[in-house]
Amino acid sequence: MKFGIAVFPGTWSDRDCAHAVTLAGHDPVMLWHKDADLRDVDCVILPGGFSYGDYLRCGAVARFAPLMQAVAGFAAAGGLVWGICNGFQILCEAHLLPGALTRNASMQFRCEPSWLRVENAGSPFTSGCARGEVLQIPVSHGEGRYVADPATLEMLETSGRVAFRYVSRDGAPVDGSSPNGSMHDIAGILSESGNVLGMMPHPERACEPLLGSADGMRLFQCVAALAGDRGTFITTGSR
């Protein structure tokens, strides 16, 4: 199993993702932003950071990188693509996922533990989890408030494309006190085909007990368990 990890100028979680991939027993392949060759990877990870300094908007410049052209084609062919934090922002800017990530409602950078309820356990990224299960995975962002128009939000909800939702430690609704004020408390969403995931929290920073939680490692293991030839997968259902 080969995980490709994108490296843009300003990326800062690429090595953290590589460490998590290695802990999961797989091979990380670093993919430079100027390259258009994905080097036969099975899953592409777009990690967190400040790609190209987050000029214009977060992810707005990265979407035009040669690497992203290859990623778009890979996703269209059913390849697994996983955007984390800035990677989620890039996926939205590239229109591989709907909606946008804006300034946190608090107008503050938030770096703290968060709790996510698994809303869809039928994706390649969550198939080893139970729907309704709560995972402890930290956030670290200043522009992580997910927004979309009412029609898009309804579509995401009714089609089971909300992957994770911010909740309290016990799984109860956060009642507007999520780390960023995301609409519908959305922490992560899936593409229509389910092979692209964008999430703001950082699973690579919850990959071993030393970090306070190993819940993030389960997502890396889920991907490897379902991935087949060149990252295509057999879905286990929409939810």
Q: Where are the domains of the chain?
A: 2-231
What is the chain's pLDDT, residue by residue, as a tens digit (239 residues)? Answer: 899 999 999 999 999 999 999 999 888 999 999 999 999 999 999 999 999 998 888 989 999 999 999 999 999 999 999 999 999 999 999 999 999 999 998 989 999 999 999 999 999 999 999 999 999 999 999 899 999 999 999 999 999 999 999 999 989 898 777 899 999 999 999 999 999 999 999 999 999 999 999 999 999 999 988 654 444 444 434 45
What is the Cα–Cα distance from 201 to 205, expressed in whole angstroms? 9
Q: What is the dihedral of CA 131, 135, 140, 146, to 10 degrees?
A: 20
Stated length of the chain: 239
**What is the per-residue pLDDT for 6?**
98
Q: Which of 85, 92, 129, 207 is catalytic?
A: 85
What is the Cα–Cα distance from 207 to 27, expressed in whole angstroms? 16
202 is catalytic: yes
Tokens standing for 50?
Answer: 């400040």
17 is catalytic: no
Q: Which of 26, 202, 207, 222 is catalytic?
A: 202
What is the Cα–Cα distance from 40 to 31, expressed in whole angstroms? 11
pTM over 0.75: yes
Q: Which of 17, 204, 207, 222 is catalytic?
A: 204
**What is the per-residue pLDDT for 55?**
84
**What is the per-residue pLDDT for 239?**
54
Class level of CATH domain 2-231: alpha beta
85 is catalytic: yes
